[in-house]
Amino acid sequence: MKFSPLVDELIESLRCLPGVGPKSAQRMAFQLLERNRKAGQKLANALERSMSEVGHCQACRTFTEQELCPICSSPKRGNAGVICVVETPADVLAIEAGGHFMGRYFVLLGHLSPLDGVGPDELGLELLEQHLSSEDVTELILATNPTVEGDATAHFIADIARRHNVVISRIAHGVPVGGELEYVDSTTLALSFNGRIPL
């Protein structure tokens, strides 16, 4: 024990955050205790509620505490017949930041990875196929990461989609190979949408 049980527990708990080592956890704990208890309380509250209440959008699988996320429930998406498949909720944010895509999303929450036990079920591909069978859906854009796993996942989904009456494409130009979609700037992302190649 370095301080008192509760302070030690706070420092230890902060280490569950990605990129936070013992030294930064300590600095975070002290800064909150010294200068920002209100913000600490607010964070406690947001964490408490998020961890128990946030689930997944029933249409696109992104994080939301509601039945449908704001994008899926918005009547303002001009191109609701186009579904863009991404790996993570962060990818949705990255594409939305560009503001050029007016369709909807489908979030895989991962990519195919048989060794880790991640197969079609884990990626919600049955739900995606339900969307594809709907008459409203006319186009599928595969925006998984340009990595080996992301490419394999895109091809796997393209094979499924071919059974349905939709135009299929993969985003292409602009996204650097081996990179993570989440970190690409919005202009590059826009290019990769415009230059998508039919599969």
* Residues forming the site for a second copy (CB under 8 A): 1-7, 9-10, 12-14, 16-19, 24, 26-34, 36-37, 39-54, 62-66, 69-70, 88-90, 93, 96, 109
d(CA 95, CA 182): 8
Per-residue tokens: 174: 């602009």
Of 63 and 190, the one with the shorter C-beta distance to a second copy is 63
Binding Zn ion (rule: CB under 5 A), the pick from 11, 25, 29, 60 is 60
Cβ contacts of residue 74 below 8 Å, gap of 6+? Answer: none
Q: Which stretch binds Zn ion (CB under 5 A): 5-13, 35-43, 68-76, 125-133?
A: 68-76
Please state the closest distance from residue 72 (CB atom) to Zn ion, in A: 3
> Which option in a second copy, Zn ion, none does residue 24 bind, with CB closer than 5 to 8 A by kind?
a second copy
Binding Zn ion (rule: CB under 5 A), the pick from 25, 28, 69, 142 is 69
For every residue of 79-118, DSSP letters joined together read TTTEEEEESSHHHHHHHHHH----SEEEE-SS--BGGGTB
Residue owning tokens 């059974």: 163
* Beta carbons of 139 and 166 less than 8 angstroms apart: yes
Please state the closest distance from residue 57 (CB atom) to a second copy, in A: 8
- At position 178, the amino acid (one-letter code) is G
* Residue ranges binding Zn ion (CB under 5 A): 57, 59-60, 69, 72
